[in-house]
Structure 1
Amino acid sequence: MSDSQHTHKPGDGHDHSHKLQPVHKHSHGGDSCCGSKVAAPAPVHSHEDSCCSSTAAAPALVQLSEKTSADARLSSFRIEAMDCPTEQTLIQNKLGKLAGVQQLEFNLINRVLGVTHNLPGTEPITEAIKSLGMHAEPLEAGVEAPAPAPVKKHWWPLALSGVGALAAEVIHFTNAAPTWVVAIIALVSILSGGLTTYKKGWIALKNRNLNINALMSIAVTGAILIGQWPEAAMVMFLFTVAELIEARSLDRARNAISGLMQMTPEQATVLQADGSWIEQDVKSVELGARVRVKPGERIALDGEVVSGSSTIDQAPITGESLPVEKTVGDKVFAGTINQAGSLEYAVSAAANNSTLARIIHAVEQAQGARAPTQRFVDQFSKIYTPVVFVFALAVAIIPPLFMGAVWFDWIYRALVLLVVACPCALVISTPVTIVSGLAAAARKGILVKGGVYLEGGFKLDYLALDKTGTITHGKPVQTDYLSLDPTADASAPAIAAALAGRSDHPVSLAIANAAVDKNFQALTVDNFEALGGRGVKGQINGQTYHLGNHRLVEELGLCSPALEEKLFALEKQGKSVVLLLDSSGPLALFAVADTVKETSREAIRQLHELGVKTLMLTGDNVHTAQAIAAQVGIDEARGDLLPTDKLQAIEDLYKQGHRVGMVGDGINDAPALARAEIGFAMAAAGTDTAIETADVALMDDDLRKIPAFISLSRNTASILKQNIALALVIKAIFLAVTFAGLATMWMAVFADMGVSLLVVFNGLRLLRK
């Protein structure tokens, strides 16, 4: 047991404070050809960037110098053209060479760039960005950047490009006009549909960046130079259409999470100083303000109910399928729906710090924590793209020079190779799958803190679980009281209640609550001390008392065969036993029992069906641990564990070759949670620490979400492998067709577009599971 600062439990070495664990960091380097990161969803503002406009990245921090100087300051810029990792890479490479720039923070969602520098002014930064064909608008310090306005695009340039490309093909095929007429029509088609691609491709080449815009610009230019005007026009048109379709298809994955942002109403009914109720913008509502919500309305802000009772649909936050009863003293969350009665609640968190806001922020950051497969694909594409370019150059030159082949044929094949070898499908296959998986998990009330955990969950073959609050309800009640010293029979319950009242752990509360109805005289506890995993001690009326578990009695040397027999009988029933002791020996015995959640039994069964073994780790006694484990079907149970013992248990499983997950909800679980492959935090809704630091946060107390997560992780890993294999196999087949001289450039674009759409739609399947 413990006081408010140190919550320990007699017999569990565990508390209900959520875990304090180091936040896992992941580097976010420059990205090749696009799509290597996927951001929190935002409206698709532009479809100008191949495989990029639809895959904006989460805010990414790039450290350019080892440390930030004392005179450094942060300047922010709105860059409307920066909505893709392609632009991010260009800016990063450009500003990375600028003396005085120390750190860059990219927020591609809002198109905002943060630059930490010690330059006298921002002109060198804006000029460097201007040289990349972009305009940087300085933002006022301390003012939140407004959401970027949608970029409106006219439909007629694309239509003109399509008509021109088709006309050029028909005229060329039928010989209806001279070649110069075909060339003019094709040129109009290329310029109307591909001018933006050319512009971006030229900027990329100037900055030695072989992205998709550069590759496509080279391919189309090469087709023009060898007189293939109709194909050049058709390739540019199909490329533009492909990126447009790709962007639209990705909207579904983006919107799956962006819908979270629409859950909170913009107005709340707030009590004023004069007693009136006025509609007020949620951003201006202060902490502690009293808000009224009517039946059928969405709750606008996090708070605590101060008047009324109702049922709340919390599915948007916790994934619970059934409404939850709420009354005075209960927490309510922004974005949830009030169903039955009218409620009034006191605001406990600002609009930008609500549980829902933290979830959205966590998901944004999660998409920046790239999965191992995604990091592999990113690195692969950085090498793959220049290698393909050099290979295509060799294909164009070597056969004609050394083998007597026809120049025209092999230059054409090299151009086809450039188009079909574009890594877009490969690069885009991972982020769309990861974002779909994250969205599917969020719908179930499972907050995954990065693709690395979503993909890694399928490897788990062992799951360690805490007991109190995880397998059981965590709300035990006192079931037995036994006096062990007749002289202290009258005072023992009051002394125990005074010590227990200093802790907020469920076992302590059970003893304290049992004394409430007995109206004991309040006793003052002096020199209170928490004994981690064993109990507490303190002085009452000058006398030192201990209140703790079996381990504490053994350590104090106050156990006896007769007492052991009593303890064994109660512990065998699955009860936690707490003893009150003074310097002479045990004074009284208290037995506390917790109840097992029905969902725990089903969760353990589902885990076993997935082939995952289970181990319960608890500070409670061995007999209680085994009794609870037997009730729910857990494979193995270990009791009398301190926090370090739980950590050692995880280490032992690693040494045996297992991949281990850990489930808990307390600070004392933190070492084991941090060491485990994946740490799962229980009941994270409304808890800052759990949401911000957990690898995976379960937004309610339902343990069945863990097998659901593992199943989702396995599906995600499977689809990632399918997408990579699909992209590589189709490209390999088409490369063979290209060398055989059977492929054309527009066929290559169709193949590239087709495989890109296949991997996108395959990744979106996760949203239906």
Structure 2
Amino acid sequence: MSDCGSKGCGCSSAASGPLLTPEPTASALAEAREAHYLIQNMDCPTEEALIRRKLGGLSGVVGLEFNLMKRTLIVRHNLPSLTPLEEALSAVGMQAVRQGDDPSTQITRLGIAQMDCPTEETLIRKKLTLLPGVVDLDFNLMQRTLTVRHTASALAKVLDAIQSLGFEAQELDTQNYRTPPSRAYSDSTPWLPLGFSLAAAIAAEGMYWYLGGNHWSVLVLALIAISLGGLSTYKKGWIALKNRNLNMNALMSIAVTGAMLIGHWPEAAMVMVLFALAEVIEAKSLDRARNAIRDLLDLAPEQATVQQPDGTWLDVEAKQVAIGSRVRVRPGERIALDGVLLEGGSTVSQAPITGESLPVEKAPGDPVYAGTINESGSFEYRVTAVAGNSTLARIIQMVEEAQGSRAPTQRFVDQFARWYTPAVFVLAIAVAVLPPLLLGAAWMDWLYRALILLVVACPCALVISTPVTIVSGLAAAARQGILIKGGVYLEDGRKLRWLALDKTGTLTHGKPEQTDAISLNSALTDSSRSIAASLASRSDHPVSKAIAKAAVGDGVVLREVGEFAALPGQGVRGVIDGQTYHLGNHRMVDELRGCSSDLKQRITALESEGKTVVMLVGADDVLAIFAVADTIKDSSRNAIAELHALGIQTVILTGDNPHTAQAIAAQAGIDRAQGNLLPADKLREVEQLAQSSKVGMVGDGINDAPALARADIGFAMGAAGTDTAIETADVALMDDDLRKIPTFVKLSRATAQVLLQNIVLALGLKAAFLLLTFTGQATMWMAVFADMGASLLVVGNGLRLLRQ
């Protein structure tokens, strides 16, 4: 009702182009080219607003034209490449297919168990990009998956190309986002050959020092060590070199071969064995980050007890249970599927989904979620979503998709790594050649130093540090009921300086009670409540519900309402017994006929008590006044205090009256309050804040769409079980607890610190070894320890976020 500025009007405003992007000039439109896209998951104006904000900020985009009914988007642009557009659409979770492509274009999701390192991703990307029929590649290194958009005839070529690079690709279900099983290192890792290889390398070192040189026994032991521990590295290195890719395997193969050629046999053997061992340890360490997401999959049981047509009960695989099925849950069991409770009651721990520490009482009509734990009673429920579309499944899907998006730090690191390895390779050649040629230095000495440079030329530690850290942060947030849509939002959370909040249901309980019902027309004293309640019963706004509930509780009879209409930001209208009535706030009364001084005094007196006032208006005058009060949550007060301690200022943006907004702000300790705001007004307020600092917006994720879309980070409250809320916001809080926002900010700041530590650690070790190499104090086995040790250190440092 009076908060209609934030509730119930978002969709129409979200689609308002001028609110979100400036009008392009005629000359810009004349010079622009067009790109046509089918956005397969663009259903609501809130998603249009999200895309409009994302693409509207790209340099070179001069116009956007949406058709929600057809799910199409025309982008008018002056870009040299469409890659920025498609990366931006992917970053906000949009499944965009460029129109005009082969109509047989399809999407295949592949699991590549051996794809551990960014250098391997680069190798695969380079190979597949050249194949005809391959339209797009989307890598998720942490989950070892590759999503390929391709023509039907290209899939066989893709699989052959991947196999030619020494990888095995397993086709996965694109509708099932369950993480493919990783390699079982405990079973497949050749521990015995590695053990013999290490023993042979140690023996070669011992014989070298005992015999005082390269005795034939030293060469034999070194060859055994390299053969047992390094054949896989040589094979991968040869494949990389054939494809003109300088990955770690290629560099290590060159370095070890060079060491053997200049007579450093024991050291070559030790370097190869240490590299093989370090790769295994690194892969197992990375699995800890992968398992952080995989653990979410284990929350939902694989079977459910389902009632059969003949009334019997049978254990059935959860993925085979259809919507509408009746499922029984016993005490202590995990709930397998989302549903609505039909019979019985219990307390359920929803911590895996919402992060709530206390169990929630469940009664018939209440929702239950897959992965939650039934703690006490037995009950039966009706399934409302298949296994692949449960709240838990959507959380996992969103977290995995968030991993695939590149955070700002990761994009910087990837660009740096692209130039770093070739630069160091060229430097190694210069080190090997120039000092002997120009200064007459010893060839063997400088060749050895060049080989050391090759060992430290791969930026694995630097490149792997960012995805491990981001994934750990996303997983830590998901465990606490905070669903973050991408690494960019996890990083930007630390920069928030303002947080705008909706009032009803966000700061308050959203369940107001009617406190006053004042009739202004004695002739209609008995009927005014009936008329008002009849209109209010047709609205789903909390204020309307409070008026209708109070009337029904007092035995007031509701009447038939015709020609009902919602008035955004004002109230509702309807025809009862042939007469048109309005029920709404003073903004509506002002537009209809204006408020008298006596009416204003009555309204002011009620609003000064923190109450929301609505009025019933007939054909000629205001007939009655109703006041409704909502109570603020204790958690809201605590959250605001924590935000202030973090240096974040707060403001209420509400469609409710200014007096109520100020009263709620005073109770919660909020810095500022703005009332009487329509969706466009909220958008304007957020835009003004965003001009000077990073701003977040907290709403229900649906009706505050324009402001949520414009904010640097949009937070959706109570997103559990709500498709649109999860899809709309940048960060979805799975319950209604505002204290999760300070938790998110703290996690963002911790993530930024770990990212910086990892970058300094990785680059610092590289720089130190470059210095040691030029001064002649470094050895190849020391270089391996430094390179792979740095990788293990940054991975371990990133995993610390899982304990947040």
* Equivalent position of 1:131 in the other structure: 164
Deviations 1:566-605 (A, max 9, x none): 0000001110001010221101010000010000000000
* Equivalent position of 1:575 in the other structure: 611
* Equivalent position of 2:332 in the other structure: 296
Counterpart pick for 2:434 among 398, 406, 421? 398
SS at match of 2:411: helix
* Equivalent position of 1:55 in the other structure: none
Correspondence list, 1:13-32, <5 A? 13-15=6-8, 20-21=46-47
Cα distance in 1 for partners of 2:161, 2:95 equals 17
Is 1:516 the counterpart of 2:552 in the alignment? yes
Residues 65/386 of structure 1: CA separation in 2 closer, same or farther (3 Å cut): farther
SS at match of 1:467: coil
Tell me by how many angstroms 1:344 deviates: 1.0
Q: Tell me if the contact between 2:3 and 2:504 (Cα under 8 Å) persists in the aligned partners.
A: no
Is 1:264 the counterpart of 2:300 in the alignment? yes
Q: Tell me if the contact between 1:547 and 1:578 (Cα under 8 Å) persists in the aligned partners.
A: yes
Q: Tell me if the contact between 2:109 and 2:172 (Cα under 8 Å) persists in the aligned partners.
A: yes
Cα distance in 2 for partners of 1:59, 1:513 equals 40
Residues 615/73 of structure 1: CA separation in 2 closer, same or farther (3 Å cut): closer
* Equivalent position of 1:550 in the other structure: 586
Residues 451/143 of structure 1: CA separation in 2 closer, same or farther (3 Å cut): closer
Counterpart pick for 2:654 among 589, 602, 618? 618
Residues 599/424 of structure 1: CA separation in 2 closer, same or farther (3 Å cut): same
Cα distance in 1 for partners of 2:500, 2:94 equals 34
* Equivalent position of 1:72 in the other structure: 105
Is 1:237 the counterpart of 2:263 in the alignment? no
Cα distance in 1 for partners of 2:287, 2:142 equals 14
Counterpart pick for 2:537 among 501, 506, 513? 501
Is 1:719 the counterpart of 2:754 in the alignment? yes
Shifted more, 418-427 versus 196-205: the winner is 418-427
Deviations 1:624-678 (A, max 9, x none): 00000000100000000000111100111122x1110111115331111111111
Tell me by how many angstroms 1:124 deviates: 3.9
Shifted more, 285-294 versus 753-762: the winner is 753-762
Is 1:648 the counterpart of 2:684 in the alignment? yes
Cα distance in 2 for partners of 1:250, 1:766 equals 14
Q: Which runs of 5+ in 2 are unaligned?
A: 12-44, 56-90
Cα distance in 2 for partners of 1:550, 1:143 equals 51
SS at match of 2:499: strand
Deviations 1:278-321 (A, max 9, x none): 11111111111111111111111111111111111111111111
Tell me by how many angstroms 1:421 deviates: 3.4
Tell me by how many angstroms 1:551 deviates: 1.0
Correspondence list, 1:722-761, <5 A? 722-761=757-796
Deviations 1:188-231 (A, max 9, x none): 21121111111111111111111111111111111111111111
Deviations 1:121-159 (A, max 9, x none): 755444434433345677899999995584523311111
SS at match of 1:268: strand
SS at match of 1:667: coil
Shifted more, 64-73 versus 291-300: the winner is 64-73
Cα distance in 1 for partners of 2:103, 2:181 equals 32
Shifted more, 70-79 versus 330-339: the winner is 70-79
Task: Letter of the 1:458 partner, please give it.
Answer: R
Q: Tell me if the contact between 2:582 and 2:618 (Cα under 8 Å) persists in the aligned partners.
A: yes
Q: What is the TM-score with the length of structure 2 in the denominator?
A: 0.86
Identity %, equivalent residues: 62
Cα distance in 1 for partners of 2:226, 2:651 equals 64
Shifted more, 602-611 versus 64-73: the winner is 64-73
* Equivalent position of 1:430 in the other structure: 466
- State the structure with bigger RCO (CA 8 A, min sep 6), 1 or 2: 1
Tell me by how many angstroms 1:13 deviates: 3.5
Counterpart pick for 1:191 among 212, 227, 232? 227
Shifted more, 361-370 versus 751-760: the winner is 751-760
Is 1:692 the counterpart of 2:727 in the alignment? yes
Shifted more, 363-372 versus 614-623: the winner is 363-372
* Equivalent position of 1:702 in the other structure: 737
Counterpart pick for 1:338 among 370, 374, 380? 374
Tell me by how many angstroms 1:165 deviates: 1.0
Q: Tell me if the contact between 1:250 and 1:760 (Cα under 8 Å) persists in the aligned partners.
A: yes
Is 1:419 the counterpart of 2:445 in the alignment? no
SS at match of 1:490: helix
Is 1:103 the counterpart of 2:136 in the alignment? yes
Task: Letter of the 1:95 partner, please give it.
Answer: L
Tell me by how many angstroms 1:81 deviates: 4.5
Tell me by how many angstroms 1:70 deviates: 2.0
Task: Letter of the 1:429 partner, please give it.
Answer: S
Q: Tell me if the contact between 1:291 and 1:344 (Cα under 8 Å) persists in the aligned partners.
A: yes
Shifted more, 731-740 versus 641-650: the winner is 731-740
Cα distance in 1 for partners of 2:278, 2:796 equals 14
Cα distance in 1 for partners of 2:166, 2:732 equals 43
* Equivalent position of 1:182 in the other structure: 218
Cα distance in 2 for partners of 1:196, 1:269 equals 48
Residues 646/64 of structure 1: CA separation in 2 closer, same or farther (3 Å cut): closer
SS at match of 2:46: coil
Counterpart pick for 1:312 among 348, 352, 358? 348
Cα distance in 1 for partners of 2:93, 2:516 equals 57
Cα distance in 1 for partners of 2:255, 2:296 equals 42
Residues 341/63 of structure 1: CA separation in 2 closer, same or farther (3 Å cut): closer
Tell me by how many angstroms 1:92 deviates: 2.6
Q: Which runs of 5+ in 1 are unaligned?
A: 2-8, 27-57
Residues 527/491 of structure 1: CA separation in 2 closer, same or farther (3 Å cut): same
Cα distance in 1 for partners of 2:654, 2:178 equals 48
Cα distance in 2 for partners of 1:63, 1:707 equals 34
* Equivalent position of 1:664 in the other structure: 699
Cα distance in 2 for partners of 1:717, 1:308 equals 47
Cα distance in 2 for partners of 1:374, 1:103 equals 20
* Equivalent position of 2:316 in the other structure: 280
Task: Letter of the 2:795 partner, please give it.
Answer: V
Tell me by how many angstroms 1:116 deviates: 4.1
SS at match of 1:491: helix
Give aligned pairs, total: 731
Task: Letter of the 2:582 partner, please give it.
Answer: H
Tell me by how many angstroms 1:684 deviates: 0.7
Cα distance in 2 for partners of 1:98, 1:319 equals 46
Cα distance in 1 for partners of 2:470, 2:720 equals 23
Residues 403/216 of structure 1: CA separation in 2 closer, same or farther (3 Å cut): same
Task: Letter of the 1:524 partner, please give it.
Answer: E
* Equivalent position of 2:255 in the other structure: 219
